[in-house]
């Protein structure tokens, strides 16, 4: 795998042996997939978590324990859209993945929870449309971000976000981006979280 820096493993896909269940909704199967990939590569393994779970921290801990080098989250949330005239789902499979700005608050909360739970680096994503969105993810503990949907609207979105973060840093006296990571002031956040 010349030129590949790391592997990002999407564990949200269906496992045919387990009746189509997504690997990523169960801590045990998530850990097994992680172990298998880690054992078979010398590249860093980033495991991408599904938000379609009750407690994402449990899956994150299982995957960290199985040897993942980093986590990325979130994948899409499962959703539906209905055509009221035909009474049929608008999506060919009946349901599909919801991404973009609608999922950002959920993604931020999950990144916040996971970044406080694991020691390995967390990469945040979900609805990042501009540099301020990206900085929010850094503030809740992400060490890096990924951008999906925004690129469909603006193919330069990633470059614009990098430029925006650079300007934010120089305007705020931030010498390096690591100073922003986890810098959220948590005095108003419930201590249970
Ligand atoms: C059209 C489309 C295709 C996607 N395909 C994949 C995929 O093949 N594997 C994967 O792990 N995530 C896939 N995703 C999920 C994104 O990588 C990302 O986790 C999610 O959309 C949230 O980020 P965003 O709001 O910036 O798009 C896809 C998202 C979209 C919109």
Distance 127 CA to ligand 1 centre (A): 10
Residue 16 lies in a domain: yes
Q: 103-107: long-range contacts (C-beta < 8 A, 24 or more apart)?
A: 103/51, 103/74, 103/76, 103/77, 103/127, 104/128, 104/133, 104/136, 106/51, 106/74, 106/77, 107/51, 107/73, 107/74, 107/137
Task: Check whether 188 has a pLDDT greater than 80.
Answer: no
Provide the annotated active-site residues.
13
Q: Give the pLDDT confidence score for residue 21 in this predicted structure.
A: 65
Distance 9 CA to ligand 1 centre (A): 13
CATH number at residue 82: 3.20.20.70
Q: Give the pLDDT confidence score for residue 160 in this predicted structure.
A: 98
Q: Give the pLDDT confidence score for residue 16 in this predicted structure.
A: 61
Indicate the pairing of strand 82-83 with strand 45-48.
unpaired
Residue 98 lies in a domain: yes
Total tally of structural domains belonging to the chain:
1
Residue 188 lies in a domain: no
pLDDT tens track for 103-162? 999 999 999 999 999 999 999 999 999 999 999 999 999 999 999 999 999 999 999 999
d(CA 12, CA 30): 9
Residue 26 lies in a domain: yes
pLDDT tens track for 86-106? 999 999 888 889 999 999 999
Q: Measuring from atom 7 of ligand 1, which residue has the nearest CA?
A: 10
Distance 126 CA to ligand 1 centre (A): 8
Measured distance between the N- and C-terminal CA atoms of the chain, rounded to whole angstroms: 40
Q: Measuring from atom 13 of ligand 1, which residue has the nearest CA?
A: 75
Say if residues 74 and 126 touch (Cβ distance below 8 Å): yes
Q: Which two tokens stand for residue 189?
A: 């956040």
Q: Is the CB of 158 under 6 A from ligand 1?
A: no
- Average pLDDT over every residue of 24-51: 95
Say if residues 120 and 67 touch (Cβ distance below 8 Å): no
- Average pLDDT over every residue of 36-63: 96
Q: Give the pLDDT confidence score for residue 25 in this predicted structure.
A: 87
Substitution candidate for ligand 1 out of 92, 104, 133, 149 with most atoms within 8 A of CB: 149
pLDDT range class, residue 22, cuts 50, 70, 90: confident
Q: What is the pTM of this model?
A: 0.94
Q: Give the pLDDT confidence score for residue 186 in this predicted structure.
A: 83
Q: Give the pLDDT confidence score for residue 14 in this predicted structure.
A: 62
Phi-psi region of 100 (alpha: psi -120 to 50; beta: other; left: phi over 0): left
Q: Measuring from atom 11 of ligand 1, which residue has the nearest CA?
A: 10
Residue 190 lies in a domain: no
Q: Give the pLDDT confidence score for residue 131 in this predicted structure.
A: 98
Q: Is the CB of 45 under 6 A from ligand 1?
A: no
Domain span at 18: 7-174
Task: Check whether 19 has a pLDDT greater than 80.
Answer: no
Report the atom number in ligand 1 closest to the C-alpha of 75.
19
Mean pLDDT over the full length of the chain: 93
CB atoms within 10 A of CB 8: 14
pLDDT tens track for 52-61? 999 999 999 9
């Amino acid at each position: 795998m010349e030129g590949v820096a790391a592997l990002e493993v999407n564990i949200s896909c269906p496992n045919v042996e387990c009746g189509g269940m997504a690997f990523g909704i169960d801590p045990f199967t998530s850990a097994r997939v992680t172990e298998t990939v880690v054992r078979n590569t010398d590249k860093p393994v980033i495991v991408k978590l599904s938000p379609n779970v009750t407690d994402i921290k449990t899956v994150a801990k299982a995957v960290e324990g199985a040897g993942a080098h980093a986590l990325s989250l979130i994948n899409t949330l499962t959703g539906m859209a209905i055509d009221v005239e035909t009474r049929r789902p608008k999506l060919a499979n009946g349901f599909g993945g919801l991404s973009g700005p609608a999922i950002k608050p959920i993604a931020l909360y999950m990144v916040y929870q996971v970044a406080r739970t694991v020691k390995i680096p967390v990469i945040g994503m979900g609805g990042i449309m501009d540099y301020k969105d990206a900085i929010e993810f850094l503030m809740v503990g992400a060490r890096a971000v990924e951008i999906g949907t925004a690129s469909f609207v603006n193919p330069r979105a990633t470059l614009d976000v990098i430029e925006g973060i650079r300007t934010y840093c120089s305007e705020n006296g931030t010498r390096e981006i690591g100073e922003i990571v986890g810098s959220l002031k948590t005095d108003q956040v419930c201590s249970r979280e």
